[in-house]
Chains A and B, each alone.
Chain A
Amino acid sequence: MHRIDCPWCGTRDEAEFQYQGDATATRPAPDAAEADFFDYVYSRDNPKGWHIEWWHHVGGCRQWVKVVRNTMTHEIHATGGPQSKLSVPKPSGSRLR
Chain B
Amino acid sequence: MTNSHRMSTGGVRIDRNKTVMFRFDGKTYQGFHGDTLASALLANGVKLMGRSFKYHRPRGCLTAGSEEPNAIVELRTGARREPNTRATIAELYDGLEAHSQNRYPSLKFDIQSVNQLLSPFLTAGFYYKTFMWPASFWEPVYEKIIRKSAGLGRAAVESDPDSYEHSHTHCDVLVVGAGPAGLAAALSAGRTGARVLLVEEQAEPGGMVSPLLDVIDDLPAADWVEQSLANLEAMENVTVRLRTTLFGYYDHNVLAALERVSDHLSEPEDDQPRQRMWTIRAKQVVLACGSHERMMAFDNNDKPGVMLAGAVRLFVERYGVAPGKRVVICTNNDDAYKTAASLKQAGVEVTAIVDARGELSPAAARAREQGLRVDSGFVPCKAIGHQQVSSVSIQRRDGSGREVLACDCLAISGGYSPDVHLVSQTGVAPIWRDDILGFVPDMPIRQERSSGACMGTFDLAGCLTEGHAAGRDAAKKAGVKVGRATKAPSAPTEELAAPVAVWRCPGNGKAFVDFQNDVTAKDIQLAHQEGFVSVEHVKRYTTLGMATDQGKTSNVTGIALLAEARGEPIPDVGTTRFRPPYSPVAIGAFAGHERGKEFQPVRRTAMHECGEKLGAVFVEAGQWLRPQYYPKSGEGVMESIYREARQVRETAGICDVSTLGKIEIFGPDSGEFLNRLYINGWKMLAPGKARYGLMLREDGYVMDDGTTSRLADDHYFMTTTTANAARVLAHMDHAAQVLWPDLDVHFCSATEQWCGVAVAGPNARKILAAAFGSALDMSDENLPFMGVRSFDWNGARARIFRISFSGELAFEVNVPWTYGEAMWDAIWEAGRDHGLIPYGTEALSVLRIEKGHVAGNELDGRTTAADMGLGKMMSSKKPFIGQKLAGREGMIDDQRATLVGVKLKSGAQRLRGGAHLVADQNNANAETSLGWVTSVCDSPAVGCWIGLAYVRGGLAEHMGNTLFAENPIYAESPEVEICSPHFFDPKGERING
Contacts and interface: CB of A to CB of B under 8 A. Distances in A.
Q: Do A and B come from one complex?
A: yes
Interface of A: 1-3, 13, 18, 20, 27, 30-32, 34, 37-38, 40-42, 54, 56, 58, 62-64, 73-74, 76, 81-83, 95-97
Contacts of B250: 1
B698 A41 contact: yes
Contacts of B251: 1-3, 74
14 contacts: A2-B251, A13-B254, A13-B279, A20-B730, A27-B698, A30-B883, A34-B885, A34-B888, A41-B698, A41-B699, A56-B733, A64-B733, A64-B734, A76-B252
Given A38-B885, A95-B445, A20 B734 contact: yes
A18 B733 CA distance: 13
Interface in B675-699: 698-699
Contacts of B698: 27, 37, 40-41
Nearest to A72: B427
Nearest to B888: A34
Interface string B408-437: 000000000000000000010100000000
B445 A37 contact: no
B766 interface: no
A2 B733 contact: no
Contacts of B254: 1-3, 13
Contacts of A58: 726, 730
B283 to A, nearest CB: 11
Ranked 4 nearest A-B pairs via Cβ: A30-B879, A82-B737, A3-B252, A37-B884
B739 interface: yes
B741 interface: yes
Given A3-B254, A37-B884, A82 B738 contact: yes
B784 interface: no
Given A3-B281, A30-B883, A76-B252, 12 more contacts: A2-B251, A13-B281, A27-B698, A34-B887, A37-B885, A58-B726, A64-B733, A74-B252, A81-B737, A96-B427, A96-B445, A97-B427
A34, A42, A76: which has the most chain B beta carbons within 10 Å? A34
Nearest to A56: B730
A31 to B, nearest CB: 8
A95 B699 CA distance: 39
Contacts of B279: 1, 13
Contacts of A82: 737-738, 741
A34 B730 CA distance: 25
Contacts of A96: 427, 445
Interface residues of B, number: 27
B251 to A, nearest CB: 4
A27 to B, nearest CB: 6
Contacts of B427: 73, 96-97
A30 B740 CA distance: 12
Interface of B: 250-254, 279, 281, 427, 429, 443, 445, 698-699, 726, 730, 733-734, 737-739, 741, 879, 883-885, 887-888
Nearest to B726: A58
A86 B879 CA distance: 29
A31 B254 CA distance: 46
Nearest to B881: A27
Nearest to A31: B879
B991 to A, nearest CB: 36
Contacts of B888: 34, 38
Contact of B737 (A2, A41, A63): A63
Contacts, number: 72
A31 B883 CA distance: 10
Contact of B884 (A34, A42, A62): A34
B250, B251, B429, B888: which has the most chain A beta carbons within 10 Å? B251
A40 B887 CA distance: 15
A54 to B, nearest CB: 8
A40 B252 CA distance: 31
A97 B443 CA distance: 12
A41 B252 contact: no
A92 to B, nearest CB: 14
B738 A64 contact: yes
Nearest to A38: B885
A58 B732 CA distance: 12
A2 B124 CA distance: 40
A13 B254 CA distance: 9
A40 B698 CA distance: 9
Contacts of A30: 879, 883-884
A30 B279 CA distance: 46
Given A40-B698, A56-B730, A58-B730, A64 B879 contact: no
A74 B739 CA distance: 27
A72 to B, nearest CB: 10
Contacts of B737: 63-64, 81-83
A73 B427 CA distance: 9
Nearest to A27: B739
Contact of A1 (B252, B733, B734, B879): B252
A40 to B, nearest CB: 7
Nearest to A58: B730
B688 to A, nearest CB: 30
A40 B699 CA distance: 10
B429, B734, B888: which has the most chain A beta carbons within 10 Å? B734
A37 B884 CA distance: 7
Contacts of A41: 698-699, 885
A86 to B, nearest CB: 13
A20 B741 CA distance: 18
Nearest to A28: B884
Contacts of A56: 730, 733-734
A18 B252 contact: no
A42 B251 CA distance: 29
Contacts of A13: 254, 279, 281
Contacts of B252: 1-3, 74, 76
Contacts of A76: 252
A12 B726 CA distance: 21
Nearest to B887: A34
Nearest to B248: A1
A18 B730 contact: yes
B737 to A, nearest CB: 4
A74 B425 CA distance: 13
A42 to B, nearest CB: 8
A63 to B, nearest CB: 6
A81 B427 CA distance: 30
A11 to B, nearest CB: 9
Contacts of A63: 733, 737
Contacts of B445: 73, 95-96
B436 to A, nearest CB: 24
A13 B281 CA distance: 9
A77 to B, nearest CB: 13
B524 to A, nearest CB: 27
A31 B251 CA distance: 43
Contacts of A74: 251-252
A59 B347 CA distance: 64
A95 B429 CA distance: 12
Nearest to B254: A1
Nearest to B444: A95
A83 B730 contact: no
A9 B192 CA distance: 29
Contacts of B884: 30, 32, 34, 37
B279, B281, B429, B738: which has the most chain A beta carbons within 10 Å? B738
Contacts of B730: 18, 20, 56, 58
A13 B733 CA distance: 20
A82 B253 CA distance: 26
B566 to A, nearest CB: 23
Nearest to A81: B737
B653 to A, nearest CB: 36
B592 to A, nearest CB: 13
A20 B738 CA distance: 12
A95 B427 CA distance: 10
Nearest to A4: B252
A46 B445 CA distance: 24
